[in-house]
Structure 1
Amino acid sequence: MTVAAELEILRPGFRFDSAEVDRARERKWYARTEKGPLVLRHKEAVELDKDNRLGPNGSHHREMMGLSNGPVYDWFEHNLQNVDAATHSRLRSMLLGLLPRHADIDTARHIRETVWTLAERMANRSAVDWMQAFADPLPVAVLCRILGIPVEQSAEFARISADSGLILAMDIGGVRDRAERAVADLHAYVSALVAQRRGRPRDDRVSRAVAACAIGDDDVIEAELHNLLMTLIMGGRETTARQLGWLGVAFARAPDQWVWLRDHPEAATQAAWEVLRWGSVVRINLRWPGADLVYQDLEITHGTPVLVCHAAADRDPTVFERPHDFDIRTKRGSVPLAFGRGIHRCVGSALALLQLTETLRILPKMFEPPVFVGDIRWRPESCLLYGPEFVPVSLAPVA
């Protein structure tokens, strides 16, 4: 029997898309790490993402991060990751109710208009931070519209939610202060938002959710509503912004594909999926077993997390040809793992994909490929939502 490789995933400089991980994946479907088994191959990653014997567990996650108190600890208490199956199903339905449907024409039009507005602002500048100029403002604008937050308050909303994704990490030590400030500020913001909608209801999704609490529905408590709104903001802003950051990095490294997309706008959705595969924001999906179990030749004990590595699985050469190449012209043989599988699939996947797709339909028509004019600054690899924080580029308008 082949022995699994040992990987030190918390070692400074470790990368989940490295040659070291490639060798470990070729050797066996998983590697052993200081946190638990790391699933490296696509087939096993899909199966374990969907396996209902495994699931998120907020209590175990807090222990993994070494938390015993504080704002981040409290956030996990009512989170989707820390409830039983019936409560999870109910809260997930509530969260879906806060989001527009996939075929929402008004939302799609708003996304296109926002992309055009941000592009026009960039057209007048010789160089920009791609994150500050485009990747962060687009999902912020989309979320403000969903939540009924006035445009004039969007800058404050952006500031409050900026570091919210840092709470999802395997090792929070290096970013704990930033993460706890972000969660505390976001909780205060959401509390004020709920109070406003209770006192002066509007015709929006948040007001309807607040009303559900007010009529005495025993299944809907205010703490859960606060947590769902925080989860929506964290997920909707952080994951999409980091993914748009990966988009900018990918095309700056492959400018010929940006030019090709200009002539083939019908391939924008395919290009968006390739961005999700090549530069997945969710590097690892943490899954805990409800009891001791066996999967293939691996014995998994209760309390030990299974680390389903999307970054490695989506570069599995048995599934994806030339997996380390970013290539929007190739129709890949399988759907990337970016949004997860099964009952825990990302509820905002359609909204995120729409933002990526509209970006890729519009920007190549307006600009030449982005060109790096400085060094990229990245989130720590130990963050479960990984991506760039600073991407300096120049964007020359198309002549």
Structure 2
Amino acid sequence: MTATAENPAATVDLFSPDLIADPFASYARMREQAPVLTGSMMGGPPMWLVTRYDDVRRVLTDPLFLNNPASVPGAGSRFTVMKNVSSDVVEYLSGKLIEIDGADHLRLRRLVSKAFTARRVAALRPRIEEITGTLLDRMAEEGRDGTPVDLVESFCFVLPATVICELVGIDEADRADWYGWGRALMAPAEHADRLPTVFRECADHLFGVIASRRAEPRDDLITALVEAQEDDGDRLTDREMVKLVFTLVIAGHETTMNLIGNSVLALLEHPDQLALLREDPSRWPQAVLELMRLGPTQFGNPRYPAEDVELGGVRIPAGAPVLPLILSANTDPRQFGAPERLDIGRQTGTGHLGFGQGAHYCLGAPLALQEAEVALRALFTRFPDLSLAVGREEIPWVLRTGFTAVAELPLRLG
């Protein structure tokens, strides 16, 4: 029977303990049950969950599926799926680059691309290597007597946070505040009462930095964003720049942090794959792509079809929220052989959907991949006898939907 809005094939709780505890198995069951299911998140209204690779890729690339529900009559607000979100928080959450469509998106993407260039990312590599080396020195001191070191706290969080501050142009004296804001933004449920204050403080700080760079330019991303303009003189507004930096902090920082932590655990669990990397370090870029395929992103932002559409044999009405299940697609055996097996020689290229696809492909993907490659290569080179300090079953995971990530990773350095 074809499912419809009135006759859904099944209903999934995206906060169910089973899904959070074992997303791979949960998504495999969902994917084989039906291409498209209904579910909900954060206590919100039903959403359509897309489980299989071809359908997920279509949702990410077909311009029929819009990011901004305001573009579709009757779709409502993106944030109706979230409870107790105050209007001042919505002001900073809404309208970011990843949530707009068409000409507005093209305009912002072009302007941002003039500042956030491949050359700027590549130029950061020596500094990323330097920051990585400093953090590994601190870890060596911390674990010198065989004391276990939590990689997430000592390395995975600090490295991308520091790199983003370097990229954006946050002075070292202000970084402690940014680290605190970053922790709150990455764990909104735990810091719900603080979020309005965090957003205001962070935004006020950024408005000040933008004004400062306009008066005294530097070699940083904020200055490049201030100076970026189209041939017709169009420029980013200060508010657009603030929202862009929020996107970098929330999306870029957390994704990179989780990618590094997950990758270390995966390689320790697959010593044969780690041995291949030790034998031939030129494999690292391909290995990072494969590690990204297996997480940490479980799903993308909701999309809203501009008209009634059939997807996976299901009729979805215009404006209904459609959630592309990225991890389910990336482990779909219809697309990848032995999909849950880590294989650093797998030629996934850009075939996996960990960074999205199409017009909204993650702008920060090259930076995240570069950071992860530098971090992992340096970590396993510096500590060749790296090992888990606890049993695999004792490692805690981030207990919230949307992420497959270690919360702590206690290691012995050798």
Normalising by the smaller structure, the TM-score range is 0.7 to 0.9
How far does the alpha carbon of each residue in 1:275-318 deviate from its partner, in whole angstroms, 9 at most, with x for none? 10112324344211223323352222233211110111111122
Map of 1:133 onto structure 2: 154
Counting aligned pairs with the same residue, the percent is 28
The answer (yes or no) to whether the contact 1:259–1:369 under 8 Å persists in 2 is no
Rate the CA distance shift 1:334–1:110 in 2: closer, same or farther, 3 A: closer
Quote the offset at 1:211 in angstroms: 5.0
Q: How many residues align?
A: 388
Within a 5 Å distance, the mapping from 1:81-92 to structure 2 comes to: 81-92=98-109
Rate the CA distance shift 1:370–1:181 in 2: closer, same or farther, 3 A: farther
**For residues 273 and 39 of structure 1, what CA distance do their matches in structure 2 show?**
23
Give the letter aligned to residue 14 of structure 1. L
Map of 2:340 onto structure 1: 324
User: Any unmatched runs of 5+ in structure 2?
Assistant: 4-8, 41-45, 71-76
The equivalent position to 1:378 in structure 2, one of 397, 403, 411, is: 397
Stretch deviating more after TM superposition (41-50 or 180-189): 180-189
Stretch deviating more after TM superposition (327-336 or 136-145): 327-336
How far does the alpha carbon of each residue in 1:107-136 deviate from its partner, in whole angstroms, 9 at most, with x for none? 122222222222222122132221121111
Stretch deviating more after TM superposition (129-138 or 306-315): 129-138
**For residues 178 and 327 of structure 1, what CA distance do their matches in structure 2 show?**
42
Stretch deviating more after TM superposition (12-21 or 364-373): 12-21
Rate the CA distance shift 1:72–1:357 in 2: closer, same or farther, 3 A: same
**For residues 17 and 363 of structure 1, what CA distance do their matches in structure 2 show?**
27
With normalisation by structure 2, the TM-score equals: 0.83
User: Are 1:27 and 2:33 an aligned pair?
Assistant: yes
Within a 5 Å distance, the mapping from 1:287-366 to structure 2 comes to: 287-332=303-348, 335-366=351-382
Map of 2:60 onto structure 1: 49
Rate the CA distance shift 1:204–1:8 in 2: closer, same or farther, 3 A: closer
Quote the offset at 1:376 in angstroms: 3.6
Map of 2:179 onto structure 1: 158
The answer (yes or no) to whether the contact 1:127–1:392 under 8 Å persists in 2 is yes
User: Are 1:389 and 2:401 an aligned pair?
Assistant: no
The answer (yes or no) to whether the contact 1:251–1:369 under 8 Å persists in 2 is no
The answer (yes or no) to whether the contact 2:111–2:236 under 8 Å persists in 1 is no
Map of 2:73 onto structure 1: none
Quote the offset at 1:229 in angstroms: 2.2
User: Are 1:183 and 2:206 an aligned pair?
Assistant: no
Quote the offset at 1:75 in angstroms: 1.2
User: Are 1:14 and 2:30 an aligned pair?
Assistant: no
The answer (yes or no) to whether the contact 1:165–1:385 under 8 Å persists in 2 is no
Map of 1:274 onto structure 2: 290
The answer (yes or no) to whether the contact 2:112–2:228 under 8 Å persists in 1 is no
The answer (yes or no) to whether the contact 1:97–1:205 under 8 Å persists in 2 is no
Quote the offset at 1:343 in angstroms: 0.5
How far does the alpha carbon of each residue in 1:162-186 deviate from its partner, in whole angstroms, 9 at most, with x for none? 232446xxxx6x6533544543332
Quote the offset at 1:36 in angstroms: 1.7
User: Any unmatched runs of 5+ in structure 1?
Assistant: none
Quote the offset at 1:238 in angstroms: 1.9
Give the letter aligned to residue 398 of structure 2. R
The secondary structure found in structure 2 opposite 1:176 is coil
Give the letter aligned to residue 43 of structure 1. D
Map of 1:147 onto structure 2: 168
Rate the CA distance shift 1:369–1:100 in 2: closer, same or farther, 3 A: farther
**For residues 123 and 260 of structure 1, what CA distance do their matches in structure 2 show?**
25
Rate the CA distance shift 1:112–1:8 in 2: closer, same or farther, 3 A: same
**For residues 288 and 158 of structure 2, what CA distance do their matches in structure 1 show?**
18
User: Are 1:120 and 2:137 an aligned pair?
Assistant: yes
User: Are 1:62 and 2:67 an aligned pair?
Assistant: no
Give the letter aligned to residue 25 of structure 2. A
Quote the offset at 1:212 in angstroms: 6.0
Stretch deviating more after TM superposition (260-269 or 30-39): 30-39
Map of 1:206 onto structure 2: 222
The answer (yes or no) to whether the contact 2:157–2:257 under 8 Å persists in 1 is yes
The secondary structure found in structure 1 opposite 2:315 is strand
Map of 2:209 onto structure 1: 193
The secondary structure found in structure 2 opposite 1:117 is helix
Quote the offset at 1:217 in angstroms: 5.7
The secondary structure found in structure 1 opposite 2:37 is strand
**For residues 332 and 220 of structure 1, what CA distance do their matches in structure 2 show?**
35
Quote the offset at 1:22 in angstroms: 1.4
Alignment root-mean-square deviation, CA: 2.9
**For residues 223 and 357 of structure 1, what CA distance do their matches in structure 2 show?**
33
The answer (yes or no) to whether the contact 2:306–2:318 under 8 Å persists in 1 is yes
The answer (yes or no) to whether the contact 2:300–2:356 under 8 Å persists in 1 is no
Quote the offset at 1:50 in angstroms: 0.5
Quote the offset at 1:350 in angstroms: 0.8
